[in-house]
Amino acid sequence: MSRRGCRVRAVLTGLVAWASLVTGAGGTTAWAGPETGRGLPEPGALALGAPAEVAPGVGYREFSLKGGHGPAHGHLLTVNLREKRVSVDLLYPGVVGARESVSRLADRRGAVGGVNGDFFNIAEEQHPGVDATGAPVGPAVAGGRALKSAVPDGQRFGPAMPRGVTTEDVLAVGSDRVARLDRLRFEGVLRSGGDELELSGFNQYALPVGGVGAYTPDWGAASRLRATCGTDTDRGAPCSRTTLEVTVRNGRVAAVSRKPGKGAIPKGSVVLLGRDGGARDLGQLEVGDRVEVSKRLRSRESGAVRFALGGFPILRDGRALGGLDATTAAVRTAAGVGDHGRRLYLLALDGRAAYRPGLTLAELAATLRKLGAVDAFNLDGGGSSTLVTRGSGGRAAVRNHPSGGAERAVPNGIGIFVK
Protein backbone atom coordinates (compact mmCIF):
# COMPACT_ATOMS: atom_id res chain seq x y z
CA MET A 1 0.00 0.00 0.00
CA SER A 2 1.30 3.48 -0.79
CA ARG A 3 2.50 5.66 2.10
CA ARG A 4 2.05 8.86 0.03
CA GLY A 5 0.12 11.55 1.88
CA CYS A 6 -0.39 9.32 4.93
CA ARG A 7 0.37 10.22 8.56
CA VAL A 8 0.87 7.63 11.24
CA ARG A 9 -1.47 8.32 14.16
CA ALA A 10 -1.10 5.28 16.38
CA VAL A 11 0.73 2.00 16.86
CA LEU A 12 -1.80 -0.70 16.16
CA THR A 13 -2.16 -3.89 18.14
CA GLY A 14 -4.42 -6.87 17.54
CA LEU A 15 -5.48 -8.24 14.18
CA VAL A 16 -8.62 -6.11 13.84
CA ALA A 17 -9.74 -3.59 16.47
CA TRP A 18 -13.51 -3.38 16.01
CA ALA A 19 -14.32 -1.81 19.38
CA SER A 20 -14.69 1.97 18.96
CA LEU A 21 -13.19 3.89 21.87
CA VAL A 22 -13.98 7.33 23.23
CA THR A 23 -11.21 8.84 25.31
CA GLY A 24 -10.42 12.15 26.96
CA ALA A 25 -7.46 14.32 25.99
CA GLY A 26 -6.67 16.23 28.92
CA GLY A 27 -46.14 36.09 30.42
CA THR A 28 -44.34 37.61 27.44
CA THR A 29 -40.85 38.73 26.82
CA ALA A 30 -40.18 42.15 25.31
CA TRP A 31 -37.00 41.73 23.28
CA ALA A 32 -34.74 44.77 23.30
CA GLY A 33 -34.09 44.56 19.55
CA PRO A 34 -30.35 45.28 19.23
CA GLU A 35 -27.95 42.89 20.86
CA THR A 36 -26.92 44.00 24.32
CA GLY A 37 -24.88 42.80 27.28
CA ARG A 38 -23.38 39.43 26.43
CA GLY A 39 -24.22 39.52 22.74
CA LEU A 40 -27.86 38.47 23.22
CA PRO A 41 -31.19 40.29 23.04
CA GLU A 42 -32.06 41.31 26.59
CA PRO A 43 -35.17 39.37 27.67
CA GLY A 44 -37.80 40.59 30.07
CA ALA A 45 -40.34 38.35 31.79
CA LEU A 46 -40.62 34.77 30.62
CA ALA A 47 -44.04 33.19 31.23
CA LEU A 48 -43.61 29.72 32.73
CA GLY A 49 -46.37 27.18 33.14
CA ALA A 50 -46.87 25.10 36.25
CA PRO A 51 -44.13 22.47 36.73
CA ALA A 52 -44.98 18.79 36.69
CA GLU A 53 -42.81 15.86 37.73
CA VAL A 54 -42.18 13.33 34.97
CA ALA A 55 -40.03 11.14 37.22
CA PRO A 56 -37.70 11.72 40.17
CA GLY A 57 -35.19 14.33 39.01
CA VAL A 58 -37.04 15.09 35.76
CA GLY A 59 -39.54 17.94 35.43
CA TYR A 60 -41.69 19.27 32.59
CA ARG A 61 -43.32 22.64 32.02
CA GLU A 62 -44.49 24.87 29.18
CA PHE A 63 -43.35 28.44 28.56
CA SER A 64 -44.22 31.34 26.30
CA LEU A 65 -42.56 34.54 25.15
CA LYS A 66 -42.66 37.08 22.35
CA GLY A 67 -39.82 37.01 19.90
CA GLY A 68 -38.99 39.53 17.24
CA HIS A 69 -41.19 37.65 14.74
CA GLY A 70 -44.15 37.07 17.03
CA PRO A 71 -45.19 34.91 19.97
CA ALA A 72 -43.48 31.61 20.65
CA HIS A 73 -44.60 28.72 22.80
CA GLY A 74 -42.29 26.00 24.00
CA HIS A 75 -41.91 22.86 26.09
CA LEU A 76 -39.12 22.22 28.55
CA LEU A 77 -37.65 19.19 30.28
CA THR A 78 -35.37 19.92 33.23
CA VAL A 79 -33.05 17.08 34.19
CA ASN A 80 -31.22 16.93 37.52
CA LEU A 81 -28.06 14.91 36.95
CA ARG A 82 -27.27 15.05 40.67
CA GLU A 83 -30.09 12.55 41.09
CA LYS A 84 -28.22 9.24 40.89
CA ARG A 85 -31.15 7.39 39.36
CA VAL A 86 -31.18 9.74 36.35
CA SER A 87 -29.06 9.13 33.25
CA VAL A 88 -28.78 10.41 29.69
CA ASP A 89 -28.10 8.37 26.57
CA LEU A 90 -28.50 8.41 22.83
CA LEU A 91 -31.82 7.46 21.27
CA TYR A 92 -31.27 5.90 17.84
CA PRO A 93 -32.78 3.11 15.71
CA GLY A 94 -29.94 0.66 16.35
CA VAL A 95 -27.87 1.68 13.32
CA VAL A 96 -26.51 4.99 12.04
CA GLY A 97 -28.15 5.04 8.60
CA ALA A 98 -31.79 4.80 9.66
CA ARG A 99 -34.61 6.98 11.05
CA GLU A 100 -37.52 6.61 13.45
CA SER A 101 -39.86 8.91 15.39
CA VAL A 102 -38.72 10.20 18.78
CA SER A 103 -41.71 8.63 20.53
CA ARG A 104 -40.88 5.18 19.12
CA LEU A 105 -37.21 5.57 19.97
CA ALA A 106 -38.16 6.53 23.53
CA ASP A 107 -40.60 3.63 23.88
CA ARG A 108 -38.06 1.14 22.60
CA ARG A 109 -35.50 2.18 25.22
CA GLY A 110 -37.93 2.93 28.05
CA ALA A 111 -36.96 6.60 28.27
CA VAL A 112 -39.07 8.86 30.50
CA GLY A 113 -38.47 11.82 28.17
CA GLY A 114 -36.49 13.03 25.24
CA VAL A 115 -36.05 15.34 22.27
CA ASN A 116 -34.86 14.94 18.70
CA GLY A 117 -31.16 15.34 18.04
CA ASP A 118 -28.73 16.07 15.24
CA PHE A 119 -29.25 17.44 11.73
CA PHE A 120 -29.11 14.69 9.10
CA ASN A 121 -28.86 13.64 5.46
CA ILE A 122 -32.53 14.18 4.74
CA ALA A 123 -32.59 14.51 0.91
CA GLU A 124 -30.42 14.21 -2.21
CA GLU A 125 -32.07 16.34 -4.91
CA GLN A 126 -28.64 17.47 -6.11
CA HIS A 127 -27.53 13.90 -6.78
CA PRO A 128 -30.19 12.12 -8.87
CA GLY A 129 -30.17 8.38 -8.34
CA VAL A 130 -28.36 8.66 -5.00
CA ASP A 131 -30.37 7.62 -1.94
CA ALA A 132 -30.34 9.76 1.17
CA THR A 133 -28.93 7.76 4.06
CA GLY A 134 -30.78 9.43 6.94
CA ALA A 135 -27.48 9.47 8.85
CA PRO A 136 -26.67 12.37 11.20
CA VAL A 137 -24.09 15.08 10.57
CA GLY A 138 -21.96 14.98 13.69
CA PRO A 139 -20.32 12.40 15.94
CA ALA A 140 -22.48 10.04 17.97
CA VAL A 141 -21.71 8.08 21.13
CA ALA A 142 -24.14 5.68 22.82
CA GLY A 143 -23.42 4.00 26.13
CA GLY A 144 -19.75 4.95 25.87
CA ARG A 145 -19.37 3.38 22.42
CA ALA A 146 -18.54 5.49 19.38
CA LEU A 147 -20.99 5.01 16.51
CA LYS A 148 -19.76 7.54 13.95
CA SER A 149 -17.63 10.60 13.27
CA ALA A 150 -18.45 13.96 11.69
CA VAL A 151 -18.83 14.80 8.01
CA PRO A 152 -16.79 17.71 6.56
CA ASP A 153 -18.21 21.14 7.43
CA GLY A 154 -19.23 21.81 3.83
CA GLN A 155 -21.28 18.61 3.69
CA ARG A 156 -23.56 19.36 6.64
CA PHE A 157 -27.31 20.05 6.65
CA GLY A 158 -28.85 22.81 8.80
CA PRO A 159 -28.53 26.58 9.31
CA ALA A 160 -25.22 28.43 9.20
CA MET A 161 -23.06 27.76 12.23
CA PRO A 162 -21.54 30.48 14.41
CA ARG A 163 -17.89 31.40 14.00
CA GLY A 164 -15.34 28.92 15.24
CA VAL A 165 -17.75 25.97 15.26
CA THR A 166 -17.28 22.71 13.35
CA THR A 167 -19.27 19.55 12.70
CA GLU A 168 -17.10 17.87 15.36
CA ASP A 169 -18.81 19.89 18.13
CA VAL A 170 -21.05 17.82 20.40
CA LEU A 171 -23.25 17.94 23.45
CA ALA A 172 -21.84 15.28 25.74
CA VAL A 173 -22.28 13.67 29.12
CA GLY A 174 -19.17 12.09 30.59
CA SER A 175 -18.75 8.96 32.63
CA ASP A 176 -18.68 11.38 35.59
CA ARG A 177 -22.37 12.19 34.81
CA VAL A 178 -21.52 15.82 34.03
CA ALA A 179 -22.93 17.43 30.87
CA ARG A 180 -20.64 19.57 28.74
CA LEU A 181 -19.96 21.06 25.34
CA ASP A 182 -17.13 19.14 23.69
CA ARG A 183 -15.51 18.32 20.38
CA LEU A 184 -14.86 14.78 19.14
CA ARG A 185 -12.20 14.22 16.51
CA PHE A 186 -11.84 10.97 14.63
CA GLU A 187 -8.51 9.16 14.59
CA GLY A 188 -8.11 5.98 12.58
CA VAL A 189 -5.36 3.98 10.90
CA LEU A 190 -5.28 1.10 8.44
CA ARG A 191 -2.17 -1.10 8.43
CA SER A 192 -1.21 -3.77 5.94
CA GLY A 193 2.12 -5.36 5.12
CA GLY A 194 4.10 -2.75 7.04
CA ASP A 195 2.38 0.20 5.36
CA GLU A 196 0.00 2.55 7.16
CA LEU A 197 -2.80 4.75 5.88
CA GLU A 198 -4.65 7.36 7.90
CA LEU A 199 -8.43 6.94 7.80
CA SER A 200 -10.56 10.06 7.39
CA GLY A 201 -14.07 8.88 8.24
CA PHE A 202 -16.12 6.41 10.25
CA ASN A 203 -19.76 5.46 9.48
CA GLN A 204 -20.51 8.86 7.92
CA TYR A 205 -22.60 9.84 4.89
CA ALA A 206 -19.87 12.06 3.37
CA LEU A 207 -16.12 11.43 3.18
CA PRO A 208 -13.46 14.10 2.61
CA VAL A 209 -12.13 14.34 -0.94
CA GLY A 210 -9.22 11.91 -1.25
CA GLY A 211 -10.19 10.11 1.93
CA VAL A 212 -10.83 6.57 3.11
CA GLY A 213 -13.65 5.74 5.49
CA ALA A 214 -14.40 2.69 7.63
CA TYR A 215 -17.96 1.28 7.80
CA THR A 216 -18.95 -1.27 10.42
CA PRO A 217 -22.17 -3.15 11.18
CA ASP A 218 -23.26 -0.04 13.15
CA TRP A 219 -23.71 1.74 9.81
CA GLY A 220 -26.68 -0.43 8.84
CA ALA A 221 -27.95 -1.37 5.38
CA ALA A 222 -28.00 2.12 3.81
CA SER A 223 -26.12 2.60 0.55
CA ARG A 224 -22.57 3.95 0.89
CA LEU A 225 -22.68 5.72 -2.50
CA ARG A 226 -23.59 9.06 -0.89
CA ALA A 227 -20.25 9.09 0.92
CA THR A 228 -18.46 9.72 -2.39
CA CYS A 229 -20.61 12.71 -3.43
CA GLY A 230 -19.98 16.42 -2.92
CA THR A 231 -16.74 18.01 -1.75
CA ASP A 232 -15.40 19.35 1.52
CA THR A 233 -16.83 22.79 0.66
CA ASP A 234 -19.78 22.02 -1.64
CA ARG A 235 -22.41 19.48 -0.62
CA GLY A 236 -24.05 19.56 -4.05
CA ALA A 237 -20.91 18.88 -6.12
CA PRO A 238 -20.99 15.76 -8.32
CA CYS A 239 -20.12 12.33 -7.00
CA SER A 240 -16.58 11.07 -7.44
CA ARG A 241 -15.87 8.93 -10.49
CA THR A 242 -12.93 7.23 -8.82
CA THR A 243 -14.01 4.99 -5.96
CA LEU A 244 -12.97 1.69 -4.46
CA GLU A 245 -14.54 -0.45 -1.76
CA VAL A 246 -12.63 -3.15 0.11
CA THR A 247 -14.38 -5.63 2.40
CA VAL A 248 -12.27 -6.95 5.26
CA ARG A 249 -13.51 -10.04 7.03
CA ASN A 250 -11.76 -11.57 10.04
CA GLY A 251 -8.68 -9.49 9.39
CA ARG A 252 -8.19 -10.29 5.67
CA VAL A 253 -9.36 -8.69 2.46
CA ALA A 254 -12.35 -10.70 1.29
CA ALA A 255 -13.59 -8.65 -1.67
CA VAL A 256 -12.77 -5.59 -3.77
CA SER A 257 -15.29 -3.54 -5.77
CA ARG A 258 -15.05 -0.40 -7.91
CA LYS A 259 -18.47 0.78 -6.73
CA PRO A 260 -19.76 1.61 -3.23
CA GLY A 261 -22.16 -1.03 -2.00
CA LYS A 262 -25.17 -1.29 0.26
CA GLY A 263 -26.74 -3.82 2.58
CA ALA A 264 -25.97 -4.87 6.13
CA ILE A 265 -22.32 -5.40 7.01
CA PRO A 266 -21.80 -8.77 8.75
CA LYS A 267 -20.47 -8.94 12.28
CA GLY A 268 -16.69 -9.21 12.30
CA SER A 269 -16.38 -7.31 9.01
CA VAL A 270 -15.49 -3.76 8.06
CA VAL A 271 -15.90 -2.05 4.69
CA LEU A 272 -13.20 0.41 3.63
CA LEU A 273 -14.40 2.98 1.10
CA GLY A 274 -12.04 5.32 -0.73
CA ARG A 275 -12.73 8.19 -3.09
CA ASP A 276 -10.32 9.91 -5.47
CA GLY A 277 -6.78 9.59 -4.02
CA GLY A 278 -8.13 7.40 -1.22
CA ALA A 279 -9.40 4.93 -3.81
CA ARG A 280 -5.96 4.77 -5.38
CA ASP A 281 -4.37 4.10 -2.00
CA LEU A 282 -6.83 1.26 -1.32
CA GLY A 283 -6.03 -0.13 -4.76
CA GLN A 284 -2.78 -1.49 -3.34
CA LEU A 285 -4.78 -4.09 -1.40
CA GLU A 286 -5.56 -7.50 -2.84
CA VAL A 287 -7.86 -10.32 -1.78
CA GLY A 288 -6.18 -12.31 0.98
CA ASP A 289 -4.03 -9.42 2.31
CA ARG A 290 -3.91 -9.15 6.07
CA VAL A 291 -5.36 -5.83 7.32
CA GLU A 292 -5.45 -4.19 10.75
CA VAL A 293 -7.84 -1.31 11.52
CA SER A 294 -7.88 1.00 14.53
CA LYS A 295 -10.35 3.82 15.15
CA ARG A 296 -11.54 6.08 17.94
CA LEU A 297 -13.07 9.47 18.74
CA ARG A 298 -10.79 11.71 20.79
CA SER A 299 -12.39 14.22 23.14
CA ARG A 300 -11.06 17.77 23.40
CA GLU A 301 -12.11 17.92 27.06
CA SER A 302 -10.81 15.64 29.78
CA GLY A 303 -12.76 12.58 30.82
CA ALA A 304 -14.33 9.72 28.90
CA VAL A 305 -17.59 10.38 27.05
CA ARG A 306 -20.64 8.28 27.86
CA PHE A 307 -23.11 10.03 25.51
CA ALA A 308 -22.70 12.53 22.68
CA LEU A 309 -24.47 13.82 19.60
CA GLY A 310 -23.95 16.59 17.08
CA GLY A 311 -25.48 20.00 16.48
CA PHE A 312 -23.71 23.28 17.30
CA PRO A 313 -23.06 25.54 20.32
CA ILE A 314 -24.92 28.86 20.58
CA LEU A 315 -24.05 29.85 24.16
CA ARG A 316 -20.81 29.26 26.03
CA ASP A 317 -20.08 30.50 29.55
CA GLY A 318 -23.20 32.65 29.36
CA ARG A 319 -22.14 34.43 26.18
CA ALA A 320 -23.46 34.11 22.67
CA LEU A 321 -21.06 32.75 20.09
CA GLY A 322 -19.85 35.20 17.48
CA GLY A 323 -21.86 35.36 14.29
CA LEU A 324 -25.01 33.92 15.83
CA ASP A 325 -28.01 34.52 13.56
CA ALA A 326 -30.28 37.22 15.03
CA THR A 327 -32.52 37.57 11.95
CA THR A 328 -34.06 34.27 10.86
CA ALA A 329 -36.86 32.83 13.00
CA ALA A 330 -37.50 29.10 12.96
CA VAL A 331 -38.95 26.30 15.06
CA ARG A 332 -36.12 25.09 17.28
CA THR A 333 -34.94 22.24 19.48
CA ALA A 334 -32.05 22.89 21.83
CA ALA A 335 -30.27 21.72 24.96
CA GLY A 336 -28.87 23.86 27.77
CA VAL A 337 -26.38 23.04 30.50
CA GLY A 338 -26.35 24.63 33.97
CA ASP A 339 -25.33 24.00 37.59
CA HIS A 340 -21.76 23.14 36.61
CA GLY A 341 -22.94 20.46 34.22
CA ARG A 342 -25.34 18.87 36.68
CA ARG A 343 -28.54 20.25 35.14
CA LEU A 344 -29.74 19.71 31.60
CA TYR A 345 -32.48 21.72 29.89
CA LEU A 346 -34.16 20.17 26.84
CA LEU A 347 -36.35 22.55 24.86
CA ALA A 348 -38.60 22.21 21.82
CA LEU A 349 -40.86 24.90 20.35
CA ASP A 350 -44.32 24.42 18.95
CA GLY A 351 -44.16 24.19 15.19
CA ARG A 352 -45.71 26.15 12.36
CA ALA A 353 -48.74 23.88 12.46
CA ALA A 354 -49.58 25.78 15.67
CA TYR A 355 -49.04 29.12 13.86
CA ARG A 356 -45.83 29.89 15.71
CA PRO A 357 -42.99 31.53 13.74
CA GLY A 358 -40.30 30.40 16.17
CA LEU A 359 -37.19 32.18 17.41
CA THR A 360 -33.90 33.34 15.98
CA LEU A 361 -30.79 31.56 17.23
CA ALA A 362 -29.88 34.66 19.28
CA GLU A 363 -33.34 34.64 20.88
CA LEU A 364 -33.05 30.92 21.52
CA ALA A 365 -29.72 31.38 23.31
CA ALA A 366 -31.16 34.24 25.38
CA THR A 367 -34.17 32.10 26.34
CA LEU A 368 -32.00 29.24 27.51
CA ARG A 369 -29.84 31.62 29.52
CA LYS A 370 -32.98 33.05 31.11
CA LEU A 371 -34.09 29.51 32.00
CA GLY A 372 -30.80 28.88 33.80
CA ALA A 373 -28.38 27.53 31.18
CA VAL A 374 -24.77 28.70 31.00
CA ASP A 375 -23.99 26.71 27.86
CA ALA A 376 -26.45 25.90 25.09
CA PHE A 377 -26.46 23.68 22.01
CA ASN A 378 -28.74 23.98 18.97
CA LEU A 379 -30.24 20.78 17.55
CA ASP A 380 -32.26 20.02 14.42
CA GLY A 381 -35.45 22.08 14.22
CA GLY A 382 -38.33 22.71 11.85
CA GLY A 383 -40.32 19.56 11.17
CA SER A 384 -37.93 17.54 13.32
CA SER A 385 -38.59 19.44 16.57
CA THR A 386 -40.18 16.99 19.00
CA LEU A 387 -40.32 16.68 22.79
CA VAL A 388 -41.81 13.62 24.45
CA THR A 389 -42.50 12.46 28.00
CA ARG A 390 -43.71 9.12 29.28
CA GLY A 391 -47.51 9.21 29.55
CA SER A 392 -49.81 7.66 32.13
CA GLY A 393 -50.07 4.51 30.00
CA GLY A 394 -46.32 4.04 30.09
CA ARG A 395 -45.80 5.12 26.48
CA ALA A 396 -44.15 8.26 25.15
CA ALA A 397 -46.50 11.18 24.44
CA VAL A 398 -45.57 14.08 22.16
CA ARG A 399 -45.88 17.32 24.14
CA ASN A 400 -45.17 19.95 21.50
CA HIS A 401 -46.93 20.51 18.15
CA PRO A 402 -44.60 19.38 15.33
CA SER A 403 -44.53 21.59 12.24
CA GLY A 404 -45.85 18.93 9.90
CA GLY A 405 -48.72 18.04 12.20
CA ALA A 406 -47.03 14.72 13.03
CA GLU A 407 -43.63 13.47 14.11
CA ARG A 408 -40.85 13.29 11.58
CA ALA A 409 -38.59 10.25 11.57
CA VAL A 410 -35.13 11.28 12.77
CA PRO A 411 -31.76 9.49 13.17
CA ASN A 412 -31.20 10.18 16.85
CA GLY A 413 -32.20 12.08 19.95
CA ILE A 414 -31.47 12.68 23.61
CA GLY A 415 -33.09 10.16 25.95
CA ILE A 416 -33.64 10.63 29.68
CA PHE A 417 -33.76 7.48 31.82
CA VAL A 418 -34.65 6.89 35.46
CA LYS A 419 -33.92 3.62 37.24
Residue pLDDT, tens place only, 302-332: 999 999 999 999 999 999 999 999 999 999 9
Q: Is the pLDDT of residue 32 over 90?
A: no
Q: Helix (H, G, I), strand (E, B), or coil: what is residue 410?
A: strand
Give the Cα separation of 354 and 401 in Å (integer): 6
**Digit-coded pLDDT (tens) for 328-372:** 999 999 999 999 999 999 999 999 766 678 999 999 999 999 999
With 60 as the cut, is the pLDDT of residue 142 above it?
yes
Residue 45's pLDDT band (boundaries 50, 70, 90)?
low
Q: Is residue 225 helix, strand or coil?
A: helix
Distance CA 73, CA 47 (A): 10
Q: At CA 417, angle to CA 85 and CA 337, rounded to 5?
A: 85
pTM, 2 dp: 0.91
Q: Average of pLDDT values for 367-380?
A: 97
User: Average pLDDT of the chain?
Assistant: 91
Enumerate residues 6+ apart whose C-beta is below 8 A from 169: 138, 181, 182, 183, 310, 311, 312, 313, 377
Give pLDDT tens digits for 244-288: 999 999 999 999 999 999 999 999 999 999 999 999 999 999 999
Cα 38 from chain centroid (whole Å): 27
pLDDT at residue 13, rounded to an integer: 31
pLDDT for 186: 98
Quick one: which H or E segment has residue 379?
strand 375-379
Helices (H), 187-319: 277-282
Q: 175-179: which pairs have CB atoms within 8 A and are 24 or more residues apart?
A: 175/144, 175/303, 175/304, 175/305, 175/306, 176/303, 177/81, 177/87, 177/306, 177/342, 178/81, 178/303, 178/340, 178/341, 178/342, 179/81, 179/88, 179/337, 179/341, 179/342, 179/343, 179/344
Please name the amino acid found at residue 233: T
